[in-house]
Structure 1
Amino acid sequence: MIKCIIVDDEPLAQKGLKEYIEEVDFLELIGVCDTAMQAYPFINKGEADLILLDIEMPGLSGIDFLKSLHYMPAVIFTTAYPQYALQGYDLDIIDYLVKPISFQRFLKAVTKAKYFLADKIKDASQAADENDYFFLKVNQQVEKIFFKDVLFVEAMQNYVAVHLNNKKLISYITISNMEKRLPANLFMRIHKSYIAALHKIDSISGNKIIIRIHTLPLSRNTKEKLMQAVNGKLVKR
């Protein structure tokens, strides 16, 4: 079952999309938002698989909303403005529906989303099995390192120190190149000199994070992005 939300400020458009969703057996509507801001909790908690998203809305537009996301579910634009189509596809959306939307056209779009999400789950499963490690040149040898063992990476001019569960490895590589080799869903550049393993963070306080006995700086520009990632795992009252 694909969990979807409607983000549209027009009551008539909301009503039409609700009726279409009820006709499709693999869709489940979990929320209706009048503004893009109301959609953030669904995204941050990882609840929505698919967004049916309007573009022209008060406050934050659909396009600016997508650009702000660290994690993006499948997205279908539902809009009265065809001129945004090219910009929409540049954001890797599934489809672009121009109002008024026929049920046949709607069904075609959500079926594309269904296959896209199925492939995404399959690819993620294969990646977890096949690509859960990398190799790094250390001194005169090449070391195999599992992602799950990495605590954080520290820049040391043209070198990096890779801090693991039980040791520290020094390699002649820049932190920018190291960042490119680490999967973005597991690691984040939290400071110009540090990359942190998200699942190893013990606490966040002000502009610092704690990993085991290590206190690492958190840049102001990265804090909001990190908190978006953390909010998906946050237990709330």
Structure 2
Amino acid sequence: MIKYLIIDDEHIAHDIIKGYCDKMHSMQLMKHCYDALEALDYLREHQVDLIFLDINMPKLKGFEFLKTLKNPPKVIVTTAYQEYALEGYTLDVIDYLLKPFSFERFLKALNKATAEKSINSLDNTNSMEESELLFLYSEKKHTQINRNDILYIEAAGNYVKIHTSKELFTIRDKISNIVKRLPEAKFIQVHKSFVVSKQHINIVEGNRIRIADSILPIGKLYKEEVNKLLH
């Protein structure tokens, strides 16, 4: 599970963030903190993977709180103040959500935070599993999948088809954008229209790759990279 804190002096902000997180089985709220001092007390005795942090709070401002942490977890800033964005990125925050933010924008930030090798507790088996999770928007709903279930990705005009071991997802996006959200060590582009999972390749024969029941072409520009897999 991805353990998280909400640090915000507004109760409605807690309700919104928790409501978004409750839509995902991988998120576990550890504590509601209504000021940064309360969060400091909690973090002295406990560890979390992710913090949703407001900036303008009483007693101790959000960024001042962040500077006191020796080994801070991943941080997503949630604030109504756009002018502090630059300072936030100098402190290595994952993303900067400007209130009010939509569920879709929230998911984009969360995908950044849970990308492979981004969560501090990767030495924990459960956290490693959570880091493989990816949200896809298809058929007017967000579905959480595991990257390891992806067989291959296919460009189809203005859409991308994501073939998994369980089902097919069709989303409106570019294949290049999807590739950016996948670990390079596990996926390889074999054609301008196809990206495949290395672990699911069954057979490479000539200019074709077999994955499950599908036979995919290997483009001339990608043949050299495919050959590296064979040696």
| TM, length-normalised to structure 2 | 0.50
Q: 1 CA distance for matches of 2:7 and 2:19?
A: 15
Amino acid aligned to 1:55:
I
Q: 1 CA distance for matches of 2:44 and 2:117?
A: 18
1:137-156 paired onto structure 2 within 5 Å: none
The SS at the match of 1:109 is: helix
The SS at the match of 1:60 is: coil
Q: 1 CA distance for matches of 2:38 and 2:71?
A: 16
Q: Deviation digits for residues 7-50 of structure 1, max 9, x if unmatched?
A: 00011111111101101222111110100001113322342110
> What does residue 39 of structure 2 align with?
39
User: How much has 1:70 moved relative to structure 2?
Assistant: 1.1
Q: Deviation digits for residues 141-193 of structure 1, max 9, x if unmatched?
A: xxxxxxxxxxxxxxxxxxxxxxxxxxxxxxxxxxxxxxxxxxxxxxxxxxxxx
Amino acid aligned to 2:56:
E
User: What are the ranges of 5 or more consecutive residues in structure 2 without an aligned counterpart?
Assistant: 125-231
The change in CA–CA distance for 1:54 and 1:21 in structure 2 (over 3 A counts) is: same
Contact 2:74 2:120 (C-alpha < 8 Å) held by counterparts: no
Q: 2 CA distance for matches of 1:44 and 1:119?
A: 19
> What does residue 215 of structure 2 align with?
none
User: How much has 1:120 moved relative to structure 2?
Assistant: 4.7
> What does residue 26 of structure 1 align with?
26
User: How much has 1:117 moved relative to structure 2?
Assistant: 4.9
| TM, length-normalised to structure 1 | 0.49
Contact 1:42 1:48 (C-alpha < 8 Å) held by counterparts: no
Amino acid aligned to 2:2:
I
User: What are the ranges of 5 or more consecutive residues in structure 1 without an aligned counterpart?
Assistant: 125-237
Q: 2 CA distance for matches of 1:53 and 1:116?
A: 22
**Quick one: percent identity of the two aligned structures?**
47
Higher share in helix: 1
Amino acid aligned to 2:11:
P
Contact 1:74 1:117 (C-alpha < 8 Å) held by counterparts: no
Q: 1 CA distance for matches of 2:49 and 2:120?
A: 11
The SS at the match of 2:52 is: strand
> What does residue 60 of structure 2 align with?
60
1:64-213 paired onto structure 2 within 5 Å: 64-115=64-115, 117-118=117-118, 120-121=120-121
Contact 1:50 1:74 (C-alpha < 8 Å) held by counterparts: yes
Q: 2 CA distance for matches of 1:44 and 1:117?
A: 24
Q: 2 CA distance for matches of 1:117 and 1:76?
A: 16
Q: 2 CA distance for matches of 1:70 and 1:60?
A: 17
Contact 2:81 2:98 (C-alpha < 8 Å) held by counterparts: yes
Amino acid aligned to 1:81:
Y
The change in CA–CA distance for 1:69 and 1:23 in structure 2 (over 3 A counts) is: same
What RMSD over aligned residues (CA atoms) do the two structures have, in Å? 2.1
User: How much has 1:121 moved relative to structure 2?
Assistant: 4.8
